[in-house]
Amino acid sequence: MEYFSSLAIALIFIILGKHGAKLWERIKIMNIGNFRKEYTLNGLRRKDLNRDPFKQFELWFQQACDANLPEPNAMSLATASVLAEPSQRMVLLKYFDRKGFVFFTNYESKKAQQITENSQVSLLFFWVALERQVQILGNAVKISTAESIKYFATRPRGSQIGAWCSQQSSVISSRKMLEMKFDEIKRKFQNQEIPLPSAWGGYRIVPHSFEFWQGRQNRLHDRFLYSCSDDDSWEIQRLAP
């Protein structure tokens, strides 16, 4: 097939009709399996790691920012219900320190409901341009209202209004209804500061393990696991790729 032009391939599929569509689906499936990328940028050695996983994360996060990657603070948040039903979504890390990693959401959302049932969660940062990922496992806890108010005040006004008008994860009849609610809240708080919604705030993920992954050639990736010990020190182990 590689010797035909794109136009010729398209004409063949048109002639074949529905059979061509089925063939194209098969080809797409085969091509996905043939995707290949060698990871050649860097290696990761034990002696290069900081003993402190928070400092190691800070170093990698700063390098992701310095590389001008889009949304370097985007992270996949995995939660599970009390029945072990998993769910994932992308959220934005807003700040972190030695106490943990903070993101904000609606406390009536699906993620919040699952955190209430099972506070153990997973975060995953994937900086593909740097051939790196970091997985963090930990316990999710609500931050204080005062801390949420402090962050909420820094949000753009449109985002503040959006937090009031969206009952996250609930079924809505149309986008028009959502936009009407936005206009209603906008009028309600016209010419005044917008207060923190009672159902909106932050969670802090308190880690008990970090895994730093660096892509390497031949799929022999470097993986290092930091595990928190009873005395709050961190044990570092190399994992097989």
Residues 6+ apart with CB under 8 A from 95: 102
Query: Encoding tokens for residue 191?
Result: 């010419």
Burial class (CB within 10 angstroms; exposed 0-12, middle 13-18, buried 19+) of 115: buried
Owner of token pair 């219900």: 81
Burial pattern 209-238, b for ≥16 Cβ within 10 A else e, equals bbbbbbbbeeeebbbbbbebeeeeebebee
Catalytic positions are 219
231: which DSSP letter? T
**Residue among 113, 69, 64, 65 nearest 87 (CA):** 113
Question: Is 119 buried (19+), middle (13-18) or exposed (0-12) by CB count in 10 A?
Answer: middle
**Rama region for 84: left / alpha / beta (φ>0; ψ in -120 to 50; rest):** left
